[in-house]
Amino acid sequence: MSSSSSPAHADMITERLILRPWTTSEATAVLDDTRSTHWADDFPAEGDRVVAGLFGRHPAWLGAYGHRLIIERASGLVVGSAGLFWPPSEGALEIGYGIVASRRGRGYAPEATQALAEFALTTPEVHTVFANVEPSNPSSVRVLEKAGFHRWATEDDEENLAHFRVTSPDHSR
């Protein structure tokens, strides 16, 4: 899979997707329930509404290393979103993703997650991209595995989460 990501604010292009940074007006439209003809019928999902509501408190999420809309190249429709929870902490950065129900099962979530993680690892501030998922969510576990993430802790006793990560090749563990 190849992605074009230069300059940083440019769209990232994968085999079947375009990952484009959110705009303030798109976030407002999601929060106001204003439909766009460029959205899949079931976009936004609840997770997209949550993220759109957090941009005010986390303006960096609208930047180059923040959240992106996932656009299906074949239709030109927004079918989900994926994002990096910028800024990194001690070189580690969390990633999140979601695809609307009508487009699930097509491999879009792993494709977007892998491209965004690879992009994040090109920055000097980031050596690890991670995600934490509930073991009771096997679909999300599969997304991470397909995207090249590795489980590094099976469960956290207090949080009941499975921890996944991908690290830059030159990062010593």
The tokens 């990062």 sit on which residue?
171
Q: Is the CB of residue 119 less than 8 Å from the CB of residue 5?
A: yes
CA torsion angle for 110, 59, 87, 7 (degrees, to 10)?
70
Q: Helix, strand or coil for residue 70?
A: strand
Contacts with 80 (C-beta within 8 Å, 6 or more apart), sequence order: 43, 45, 48, 69, 70, 97, 98, 99, 100, 103, 108, 109, 112
Q: Report all structural domains of the chain as residue ranges with CATH numbers, in order of start.
A: 12-167 (3.40.630.30)
Q: Which two structure tokens, joined as six digits, stand for 32?
A: 């106001």
Tokens of 145: 């595995």
d(CA 3, CA 118): 9
The answer to whether 16 touches 71, Cβ cutoff 8 Å, is no
The one-digit pLDDT tens for each residue of the chain (173 residues) are 444 434 456 899 999 999 999 999 999 999 999 999 999 999 999 999 999 999 999 988 998 889 999 999 999 999 999 999 999 999 999 999 999 999 999 999 999 999 999 999 999 999 999 999 998 999 999 999 999 999 986 554 557 889 999 999 877 55
